[in-house]
Amino acid sequence: MSGLLKSSIGRKYAMALSAFFLMFFLLQHFVINVTSIFPDNGEVFNQLSYFMGTNPLVQYVLQPVLLFGVIFHFVMGFILELKNKKARKVTYAKNNGGANSTWMSRNMIYSGIAILAFMVFHFNDFWVPEIVDKFIEGNSQEGKDYLHHVQEMFQNPIRVAVYVIAFVFLALHLLHGFNSAFQSVGANNKYTKGLKLFSQIYAIGVPVGFIIIALVHFFNH
């Protein structure tokens, strides 16, 4: 593994795989969260949240893997940015960098930092209170109204604004990152146009979906 990460191609491949893993988790997270705006008083959302918050496989296997994936992806992103920065200096001296790349590709490091900062903010809103409630205070999760906590969080207009801005940055990050991940694993073939379209739909649709969820909770309660 360490040998693979020493090469430029290996690092890009590992970065792409971690990106796919995180995008799969993001989609799963969205599917669960969208149930919080179902007209069923939170029945489905509470059931799914209870399962995710108490299932041993999720809590003690998948959750640590997810945290490792997040850390790995961002650390690898910073390493690649530093490695590529030297090459860019030479390229920009010969060409107009803005004419040969998109704004998203040139600013992935900044959108990544914004997303990382938001994740800390988001964990403090939801993950930390859950850990305190379960493991420090020792409260039973049976019958817990997870929806109520979500609704409370999104009553603060500043918090909602932070979420909206963060998901705009996420969309910008994904618009380049998702398609770049496909290229890094060698998906340059007759399916390239279809993969690019799929990546664009995902990159815009999922963040917009999260924004809609936040706004629905803000305006409806």
User: What's the rounded Cα separation, in Å, for the pair 32 and 55?
Assistant: 15
| Candidate from 9-18, 68-77, 94-103, 125-134 with smallest mean pLDDT | 94-103
pLDDT, tens digit (0-9, with 9 covering 90-100), for 36-61: 999 999 999 999 999 999 999 999 99
Domains of the chain, each with CATH number or no CATH: 2-89+102-219 (1.20.1300)
Single pTM value for the model = 0.88
Indicate if the pLDDT at residue 171 is higher than 80: yes
And the tokens for 1?
């593994």
pLDDT digits (tens, 9 = 90+) for 199-220: 999 999 999 999 999 999 999 9
Q: What is the mean pLDDT of residues 86-104?
A: 60
- For 37-58, the three-class secondary structure string (H helix, E strand, C coil) is HCCCCCHHHHHHHHHHHHCHHH
Two structure tokens written together for 191: 């399916």
Which band of pLDDT confidence, cut at 50, 70 and 90, is reported for residue 92?
low
- For residue 2, what is the DSSP state? H
